[in-house]
Structures are given as structure tokens and as C-alpha cells.
A and B are shown apart, each in its own frame.
Chain A
Amino acid sequence: MNAMDPRSPIENGVVLTPAQQKARRQRNIAIGLAVALLCALFYAVTIAKLGSGVIKGAG
């Protein structure tokens, strides 16, 4: 009997309540949004710091 077996005693251990499942889903969404915001922020900061140098360099 392994850990993934539906009859495993571990499966009967900590079972998330609907409220806990909802909290976990909300946390996942919040982390996803935070990572996306951070990517956008670092992109914007990079452009702001490089400024016109990017265009001059391309020419």
C-alpha cells in the first residue's frame, strides 16, 4: 500500500475543509498575481533605467 493509495491511512489524516481548500485556492491566485506584478515591475524598471539608450544602441 503506497501513499497515493486511496485506502492509505495517510489519506484519512489531515483532510482540508472546504474553507481551507478555498483559502489555498485564494493564496495560489494571490501568489500568481504577485509574481506577474513583479515581472511587469522589473520589465518597466529595466525600460525606465535604460531609457533612450536602448534606441540609440539599436541604431
Chain B
Amino acid sequence: MSDVTAIANGREAGLGAADLVGGAPTDYLALLKPRVMSLVIFTALAGLVAAPVHVHPVIGFAALLAISVGAGASGALNMWYDRDIDAIMSRTRTRPIPSGRIAPREALAFGLTLSAFAVFTLGVVTNWLAAGLLAFTIFFYAVVYTMWLKRWTPQNIVIGGAAGAFPPMIGWAAATGSISVESLALFSIIFFWTPPHFWALALFKSADYGRAGVPMLPNVKGAARTRLEIFLYSVLLVPVCLSPWMIGFEGRAYGVVALVSSLIMLALAFAVWRDTEGRDKDKAAKRLFAYSILHLFLLFAVIVAEHGILAPLGFAS
């Protein structure tokens, strides 16, 4: 179909230039949520290097690329579906679709195409268990979380958090072709980390979510209940973060880092629970939100360092 025919068809369908032309490559990159992708790459890398199987570097690189593109594709599908509420929230209104840089149908086609490519590539390069887990993760994030849970229940991010927790399990499956207790421990860390992380954000962005009609916990159950649940999940997170060391999968270095970092996170969560008055309440939530990112990064960095750097050099902690 020539450009002229496409334009003629587009006019008949009532489309404008923005519907037919599309944005710049950077806009498509933004659809993939690069910051989320970087976390996915990092946690999937941890699963891949922690597995007790040697993976050829080229195969490992291809697997990571497929996992990260799959995660990005689910982000594009999320932005396609959420374009109405993204246009309302200050945090998201500059995204490519609400700002008019990319047409919704282009984002949908982009997300679906990349999803299919990513799953197929991971299956061909590694194994179909890993590809199946990646396909399930994309489905879980785009359909179960985005289309169903997000606008329905304040427990949206608790259940939806599973989508973000799958990457290390996919990395492990890509290397071993199986699911094991170790990969479930890595899954659990991200799964139980997600509620305090997102609810800390929701506490100081509750007005934004409220305007968009997204039932986040602070809007539905109130700030006090949210602060309590943040603290309770942070308590639960301590043994979960220590579990890789307790089952003998990680060494002492991980155990020490996990214990110290988990206690810092717990102390910050306690401050969020207690500081309910004045300017301190938002400050405590912001501090917890920022530290939670560092906490997760530290844990997975130690895993990557222990298995990917120290173990090959003959050091065992």
C-alpha cells in the first residue's frame, strides 16, 4: 500500500496526520518504560547468573534482551490501555500517547509485535518453559493487572506485583529449564517488596490517583491503614530477604547485606507508620520510597557479584 493510498484510507476512516505518522524512535523507547526495563534486566541477570548451570555469554545476552523487550512490550500495552487515566495524572500525562506523540493503535501494534518476538526469541534461544513464563508475565501485567485489578481493587499492586517478580525466575528457567526453591526465593523478595514500595509512592501521590479514579490503598482505606500495612509488609520482608541465605543458596556476604538493609528499610517503614502529622509524613514516605529502590538493588547486586564475579574467581563467602 502506497503512502498516498494509506493517507486516502486514513481520511476515509476519519484519521488525522498523528494517527498515520507516529512519533520519533525516542517516543517508542519511552513506551517500553526504560526505567522499569533496567530493573527487569538487573533482576533477570541475577536469576541467570545465580543458576547452577553455565550459560554461554551470547545465549545469556540474547535471553536478557528477550526478557527485557518482553517486559517493555507489556509496558507499551499498559500505556495503550491506561491512556485515559495517564492523561489525568501529573506523573504520566507527558507519556507518548496522552501527549499525542504516538497514536493508541500504533502503541497497541508495537506492544503486541514486540511481545510475540520476545517470547519466540526466548523460546528458540533458551527453552519453552522460560518463554512460557515470559508470555505469562506479559499477560499477567497487561491483562490481569492493567485491565482488571488496577481499576477494581486496592489490592491491585499486591497481586499485580507478581508480574514484576517473575524476571529472576525467568532468568533462572532460561539457564536451567526448571523452577526451583531458589528461584521462588528470588520471586518472593520482589513480590513482598512491591507493596511497601508502591504504597509509599501512593501516600504522597494519592491525590493524583484519586483524580484518575484508581483505587489505591490510601484513597480507599485511608492513609493510616496504608501506613500500617506498609510496616507489616516490611516486617514480613525481613525473613523473605534473608531466605536465600537461610536455605544456603547465598553466602555470608549476602546474609549481612540483606540483614542490615532490611533493618534500615524496616526502620524507615516504622517512621512512615509513626510520623502521621505535618510535613514529616510525606518526607518519611518519600524516604522509604527512595530507599526501597536501593534496597532491592543492593540485594540483587550482591547476588550478581557472588555468583557472576566472585564464584568464577574461586572466592566463596
Contacts and interface: CB of A to CB of B under 8 A. Distances in A.
Interface of A: 3-4, 8, 10-11, 13-17, 20, 22-24, 26-27, 29-30, 41, 44-45, 47-49
Contacts of B16: 14
A56 to B, nearest CB: 17
A10 B4 contact: yes
B301 to A, nearest CB: 26
Contacts of A26: 24-25
A10 B21 contact: no
Contacts, number: 56
B21 A16 contact: yes
Main secondary structure of the interface of A (DSSP, over half): helix
B91 interface: no
Main secondary structure of the interface of B (DSSP, over half): helix
Interface residues of B, number: 22
B4 A23 contact: no
Contacts of B11: 10, 13-14
Contacts of A27: 22, 24-25, 28
A31 B159 CA distance: 36
B35 interface: no
A48 B58 contact: yes
A44 B21 contact: no
A16 B8 CA distance: 14
Given A11-B4, A13-B8, A16-B17, A41 B62 contact: yes
A11 to B, nearest CB: 7
A37 to B, nearest CB: 9
Given A26-B25, A29-B25, 13 more contacts: A10-B11, A13-B11, A14-B7, A14-B10, A17-B17, A20-B21, A22-B24, A23-B23, A27-B24, A30-B25, A30-B28, A47-B58, A48-B59
